[in-house]
Amino acid sequence: MTAFSATFPGACYQSKQQQRRNALLRGDVLLDTRSHSFCGGAVTAEMYVPKARSHVWHQVTEYSQWVHFFPDIVKSEVLTKSDGLAKSTKRLYQVARKAFFLLSVQVEIYLNAIESDRHGSSDSIRFEMEKGTFQDFEAELQLQDFEQGTLLIYTVQATPNIPVPSALIQEAMKLDLPTNMKQMRQVICR
C-alpha cells in the first residue's frame, strides 16, 4: 500500500460519479427502472451522444424520424404545431408494434410534445398523452451539455391497457431500451 492510499483509503477507488461518467463516455446506457402501477413501469435512461446539443436537438425534434430511432415505432407524424414565446407544442401520432413473449401487440398514441425554450445548458421535451392504447403515458427527454457532446436523459412511465404485471413491463424495458437508445445514438451520429 502506498503512502497516498494509506492516507486516503478511498483513493484507489473511483467515485460513483466518476464511474458513471466513464460508463457514459464508454457508450453504456445507464438505466433505472421502477414500478409505476400494478401493470405499468417507469424507466430513466441516460446516454452520451458525441455531438453538440444543437445537433441532437434538431434530430430528436424531427419526430417523423423516430421510426429510425426506435425499431418498434412504425409510424410517427406531426399532426399540428403551435409556437409560443417560451415553448413550442406539437401534436404527434405514433404507432408501435411489439412482439411481447407469445403475444404480438400494436399500440397507438396521440401525444403533445412540449418543447422547452432553448436557453442555458439544457433543453427538454415533455410528452403528454392525449389519448391512446395506454391507461397512462408520460415521458420527458432532456438534453444537457456533457463533456464534448450531449447527455440525453429519457424518462418514461406508462401503463398499457393490457393487464401485464409491472415486473414484466420493467424487464421488457431493461431488455429493449438500451438497444433502442444505442440505435438512436447511431442514427443521430450519422
SS3 45: strand
pTM of the full structure: 0.83
Rounded-to-integer distance, Cα 84 and Cα 88, Å = 6
Q: Is the pLDDT of residue 57 over 50?
A: yes
Give me 133's grid cell.
392504447
Residue with more model confidence, 90 or 161? 90
Q: Over the stretch 170-181, which tens digit does the pLDDT of each residue have?
A: 677 777 889 999
Mean pLDDT of 143-147: 95
Q: Over the stretch 118-131, which tens digit does the pLDDT of each residue have?
A: 666 789 999 999 99
Q: Over the stretch 58-111, which tens digit does the pLDDT of each residue have?
A: 999 999 999 999 989 999 999 999 887 667 899 999 999 877 666 677 889 999
